[in-house]
Structure 1
Amino acid sequence: MMRTGRPRQFDRDDAVRQAMHLFWEQGYEATSLAQLKAAIGRGITAPSFYAAFGSKAALFLETISCYMNSHGRVNDVLWDDALPPRQAIETALRQSVKMQFGSDHPKGCMVALGVMSACATLHQPLLQPLQDARRRTRNGFKRCIERGVQRGELSPETDINALTALFDSFLLGVSTLVRDGVNFAAVDGATSAILKHWDYAA
């Protein structure tokens, strides 16, 4: 008689979310298999872990996908042509800041924190999706600024690349501020200040 095997003792979607939080908090290199198994819980063994996820690397890539389809969508508004470009940028910045201060997950942005990994060069294939996500956000800022110039909301002499880098670097830096304990009011105020550079270029 064929043995059916032991049924899985955990909810897979919840397990991916728990692993995402762990990678988000600690990074890929610092997160061990033992920590992942503990986070998933319910007595998962190494064989059942590998049967479910394949490897630590495969699970990490799955958690990135989970992040990008949930928390990471705060910047999708940069591609919404129904919004005026300045409003799209402000909405993206404020939504991202609010998300990074959220109390139901690790502080900061998983995409931004990925660039700070001390072992980034050793795990470039794994970190490529995070780099791609950062590039997409940067391109979204640039697209909004280009729309602003085209619509006459910004001066034709606007340095598009410089203004793109300004908004992008601010957003990347928020993760460090949040992790260092800077309060929401200060970062929210900084968001208002950085947006004035759009007005200066008008």
Structure 2
Amino acid sequence: MAQMGRPRTFDRDAAITQAMHLFWEHGYDSTSLSQLKANMGSGISAPSFYAAFGSKEALFKEVMTRYLNSHGRVTESLFDTHLPPREAIERTLRSSAKMQCEPGHPRGCLVALGLMSASSAQAVAISAPLAEARARNRAGFMACVERAIREGELAAQTDPRALATVFESFLLGLTTLARDGVAHAVLDAAITQVMSTWDAARA
């Protein structure tokens, strides 16, 4: 009769969160297997790690899914067509700035940091969902601006791509500032300033 395998001695859900924080802080390439094994749970053995997650690459995919379904949802306002376009963009920026500065996890945004900190071809390939998330946000900003032009809130001659890029660039820039320790109050005040770009383009 075959012996049953040893029961898992760590909380898999908590381990994924711990791995997410490591990748968030250090990036994919710079996070080693030894770091992961030492910091997930109370430390797990190589056999336990591979039995639970398969590989570093497979673990990172789970981490990305966890992030996009939790912290990464701060941009969902962009896709809420019940919100006025200006409010949708402002709410996204303020929610993201707050999330990036809150305690309990590394500062900044994994969507902005994950692929940019990956150098190997393999890392770039498995980080594709993060690039897709950025592309989705880009389309969301564009859709808000185009909707505002259609509805007469913004002047007809507004360049939608240029204005959408202003807000997307600001969103991505928040990550560097948050990672450098700039206070949330400063970032929040800057959002008020950047929204004046929208107001200058009003019809």
Shorter-normalised TM range: over 0.9
Look up the equivalent residue of 1:144 and give its one-letter code: C
Deviation at 1:77, TM superposition (A): 1.0
Measured against aligned partners, the alpha-carbon deviations of 1:90-142 in whole angstroms (never above 9, x if no partner) come to 10000000000010100000001124315165522111111000000111000
**8 Å Cα contact 2:115-2:123 kept in structure 1:** no
Alignment of 1:69 with 2:82, yes or no, is no
Q: Which residue of 2 aligns with 1:14?
A: 14
Residue number in structure 2 paired with 1:158: 158
Q: Identify the range of structure 1 (182-191 vs 48-57) with the bigger mean alpha-carbon deviation.
A: 182-191
Match of 2:117 in 1: 117
Shift of 1:43: 4.0
Cα separation, 1, equivalents of 2:120 and 2:135 = 16
| Aligned counterparts of 1:170 and 1:120: Cα–Cα separation in 2 | 27
Counterpart residue number, 1:173? 173
Relative to 1, partners in 2 of residues 1:120 and 1:175: Cα closer, same or farther, differing over 3 Å?
farther
After TM superposition, the structure 1 = structure 2 runs for residues 1-202 of structure 1, keeping only pairs within 5 Å, are 1-117=1-117, 119=119, 121=121, 123-202=123-202
- Provide closer, same or farther for how the CA distance between residues 118 and 45 of structure 1 changes in structure 2, counting only shifts above 3 A: closer
Distance in 2, matches of 1:7 and 1:115, equals 35
User: Structure 1 vs Structure 2: percent identity of aligned residues?
Assistant: 56
Q: TM-score, normalised to structure 2's length? A: 0.96
- Is contact 2:75–2:137 with CA below 8 Å preserved after alignment? yes
Q: Distance in 2 between matches of 1:135 and 1:43?
A: 36
Structure 1 unaligned residues grouped into runs of 5+: none
What does the per-residue CA deviation read over 1:129-157, in whole Å, with 9 as the maximum and x for residues that have no partner? 11000000111000010110111100110
Q: Work out the number of aligned pairs and report it.
A: 202
Q: Structure 1 residue runs of 4+, over 3 Å off?
A: none
Change (3 A) 1:153 1:126: same
Quick one: structure 1 residues 36 and 195, their matched pair in 2 at CA, closer, same or farther if it must change by over 3 Å?
Answer: same
Distance verdict in 2 for CA 1:118–1:44, change over 3 Å: closer
Which string of whole-angstrom CA distances, capped at 9 and with x for unpartnered residues, describes residues 33-75 of structure 1? 1111112133411011011101001101110000000000000
| Secondary structure in structure 1 of the residue aligned to 2:190 | helix
Q: State the TM-score, normalizing by the size of structure 1.
A: 0.97
Q: How far apart, CA to CA, are the structure 2 residues paired with 1:14 and 1:43?
A: 12
